[in-house]
Amino acid sequence: MRMRRARVEDLPAIMDLERVCFGPWRWTEDFMREMMADGAVHTMVVDDGGLVAYAMMHMYQDHRMAELLSLAVSPQRRRQGIGGCLVSFMEREVAERGAGAVMLCVRPENQDAVNLYLSRGYRVLARCQGYYEDGSDADIMVKQLGGGE
Ligand SMILES: CC(C)(COP(=O)(O)OP(=O)(O)OC[C@H]1O[C@@H](n2cnc3c(N)ncnc32)[C@H](O)[C@@H]1OP(=O)(O)O)[C@@H](O)C(=O)NCCC(=O)NCCS
């Protein structure tokens, strides 16, 4: 199993993961392509003879803050530490570039993701009502980096 930077050729496999992990809430292929081409967005994939996971982090321009934009692990490969590993790797990467904190948005009912983030030191900062396109709320979670967590 290998973690590496995403390449444009990974787009179809990333979209397969999006479909299986996010269903109707997945991003469109055009939006995903745009994000992958954005120099401020870092995309990592986990390759195990096929893509089994990916994560995307946006580094804000002043480099003091980053946002975890997406994280998805193939259903057959969950609870093996892959999601946590991707999050830790990306936190280290943005910390080295000067980010002091990472934020993310998550559906409060997505317990798998909320548990992962809580176990990694994220805390709920606020609930944002009607944040998602379907009108659902989002929890905004934040983690300070460099605090030894
Ligand atoms: C959320 C997701 C990325 C987790 O990936 P994963 O590789 O299974 O996560 P890990 O194995 O690294 O789990 C790390 C910790 O998170 C928590 N966790 C993850 N899945 C959990 C579950 N189903 N139930 C309870 N806790 C869970 C646990 O604390 C776990 O540690 P443990 O296995 O030692 O108990 C994965 O379930 C997924 O892709 N879900 C669909 C897409 C999604 O919701 N992405 C997040 C959008 S914000």
| Tens-digit pLDDT profile for residues 55-111 | 999 999 787 999 999 999 999 999 999 999 999 999 999 999 999 999 999 999 999
Q: State the pLDDT confidence band at 10, using cuts at 50, 70 and 90.
A: very high
Average pLDDT in the 43-49 region? 96
Span from the CA of 12 to the centroid of ligand 1 (angstroms):
23
What is each CA distance from 63 to 91, 129, 147, in whole angstroms? 13, 27, 17
Is 81 within a domain?
A: yes
Q: Report the candidate in 81, 74, 86, 92 with the shortest Cα–Cα distance to residue 145.
A: 92
Q: What local confidence, expressed as pLDDT, does residue 149 receive?
A: 46
State the DSSP H helix or E strand holding residue 73, giving kind and residue range, or none if neither: strand 65-73
* Euclidean distance between CA atoms 139 and 113, whole angstroms: 11
Q: How many domains does the chain have?
A: 1
Q: What local confidence, expressed as pLDDT, does residue 147 receive?
A: 59
Q: Range of 49's domain?
A: 2-144
To the question of pTM greater than 0.85 for the whole model, the response is yes
Distance from CA of residue 13 to its chain's centroid?
Answer: 16
Is 71 within a domain?
A: yes
Pocket of ligand 1 (CB under 6 A): 21, 71-73, 78-84, 106, 110, 112-113, 115-116, 119
Span from the CA of 99 to the centroid of ligand 1 (angstroms):
24
What is each CA distance from 9 to 2, 92, 104, 121, 147, in whole angstroms? 16, 25, 26, 33, 37
State the DSSP H helix or E strand holding residue 89, giving kind and residue range, or none if neither: helix 82-96
Q: What local confidence, expressed as pLDDT, does residue 86 receive?
A: 98
Token couple for 62? 């002043």
Q: What's the CATH code of the domain at 23?
A: 3.40.630.30
Is 149 within a domain?
A: no
User: Could you identify the atom of ligand 1 that is nearest to the CA of residue 86?
Assistant: 12
Q: Report the candidate in 111, 56, 107, 124 with the shortest Cα–Cα distance to residue 78.
A: 111
| Residue 148, pLDDT above cutoff 70 | no
